[in-house]
Amino acid sequence: MVSPLLVGVQGGRKMSGMSGNAPLDRLRAQRMLEELERLQGRGTELVSVYVPPGKAISEVMNDLRNEWGTAVNIKSKTTRKNVQDALTKVMERLKLFKSIPPTGLAIFAGNIASSQLGVGDMQTFVIVPPEPITIYYYRCEHQFLLDPLFNMLSAKDVYGLVVLDSKEAAFGFLKGNRTEIIKEYTSGVQGKTRAGGQSSRRYERLRDMYLNEWFIRLGDYFTEHFRNIPNLKGIIVGGPGPTKEDFLKGNYLHYELKDKILSQVDTGYTGPEGIKELVNRSREIMKDARYYEERQTVQEFLRHLGEDDGLGTYGEQEVLQALKGVNVQLLLISEEVRRTLYRLKCKSCGYVESRVVDNEKAADFEANLGQVKCLKCGGEVEILEKEDLIEALVKMAESVKAQVELISTSTEEGEMLRRSFGGIAAVTNYRTY
Ligand SMILES: [Zn+2]
């Protein structure tokens, strides 16, 4: 079966605007890449092509034609044919574009080894990435080469880093695995020990005044560097001593940035060394922040369940029902859910029903569809559509304006959601029982 797919890794602002849920956008893209990653060729015959923006299509076509010619040297007849067929597919896809999109293009093609059928399946995937591709290359491997796209996913989130004390401050960014120092400043504020001869009260007063001015300046620097950064997930503030706490407690930060402060961290240094210390601890800080939110979310669901107010519900059919009834305010999905939602239609009476099947059993389910009987009349059914359960749930939740939270199994609460509640739970707007 030839199944041409036009896939966009939907990430960045576009998708965030749609779902308002960045972890979800990432999970979607992540899932898609993981699916591509699983695909295997029988030989070294899966073709990956990355084209950066600005490249002329004619030039790329030319290079691909050359690769096609070079492939003549491949010894195995089957592999040779498959590589050339894949390259032809890539060129066919490329021809559909008038020019390379602003973020570039990644095209994957190849004969996918299928254990079931014993025959390959030529598939093509076109991905317009959320951020610009910076490489131009062609590879032919057992698997598709997806690292550049995986890296893009983790590089999407931006964190602000600041280390400060009364003397100096350094501002930086953490983008994916990359750290960037933006700027360093000095305050001009003198140390706590006064120079001889000055009255101590006057010295304190002056110092407070200078410190206040320093904090005002710092507030402006925060605004300058962080306020208009898209994808800024949070700011981590570090520094030795209590100055950072004094600064954050005071009213120096723009209110939009106040909400972005993820954490305050004691560091031994200021300046670039201090930023480095923050980076070393940032992974754990970001994880902590995320786990904290996940815990809170699951606990909210558990609270409703415990109070028996009729608002806590769980299980895929129950939650699907609530979503259909526009009766969900909060939807919780375990990231570990790997299931497919089928809509089945009866061939005799036309009755439509939903069935949820584990992904592992989906192929079996489809192969043995003849054994599935219509719930109404017992007639034979056909598949109307099938969709990843998480995707389906999220779409429904978005259409009824419910909040969606994806929960990892890294916390006890998340593990409980997966184990005890089938990975799917919801808080409804009103009770139905
Ligand atoms: Zn029927």
pLDDT in tens, 119-131: 668 899 998 887 7
How many whole angstroms from 372 Cα to the centroid of ligand 1?
A: 11
d(CA 78, CA 31): 31
* Confidence band for 147, pLDDT divided at 50, 70 and 90: confident
Backbone phi and psi for residue 122, each to the nearest 5 degrees, phi listed first: -70, 120
How many whole angstroms from 387 Cα to the centroid of ligand 1?
A: 22
d(CA 90, CA 125): 9
So what's the pLDDT on residue 290?
A: 74
* Confidence band for 61, pLDDT divided at 50, 70 and 90: very high
Mean pLDDT of 284-309: 86
Ordered DSSP codes for 380-399: BEEEEEEEEHHHHHHHHHHH
Summary mean pLDDT of the chain = 86
How many whole angstroms from 165 Cα to the centroid of ligand 1?
A: 73
> CB neighbours of 327 closer than 8 A, spacing ≥ 6?
400, 428, 429, 430, 432
Percent of the chain whose predicted confidence (pLDDT) is above 90: 59
d(CA 222, CA 224): 5
pLDDT(42) > 70? yes
Is 319 exposed, middle or buried, given 0-12, 13-18 or 19+ CB atoms closer than 10 A?
A: buried
The residue whose two tokens read 């060394």 is 273
How many whole angstroms from 379 Cα to the centroid of ligand 1?
A: 5
To the question of pTM greater than 0.85 for the whole model, the response is no
In 3D space, the residue among 8, 14, 23 whose CA is nearest the CA of residue 403 turns out to be 23
* Selected residue with higher pLDDT from 350 and 114: 350
CB count within 10 Å of CB 373 equals 12
The tens digit of pLDDT for each residue in 18-37 reads: 334 455 666 667 777 878 88
How many whole angstroms from 394 Cα to the centroid of ligand 1?
A: 29
Tokens of residue 239, six digits: 């520094």
The tens digit of pLDDT for each residue in 260-296 reads: 898 899 999 999 999 989 888 876 777 777 788 889 8
d(CA 372, CA 316): 19
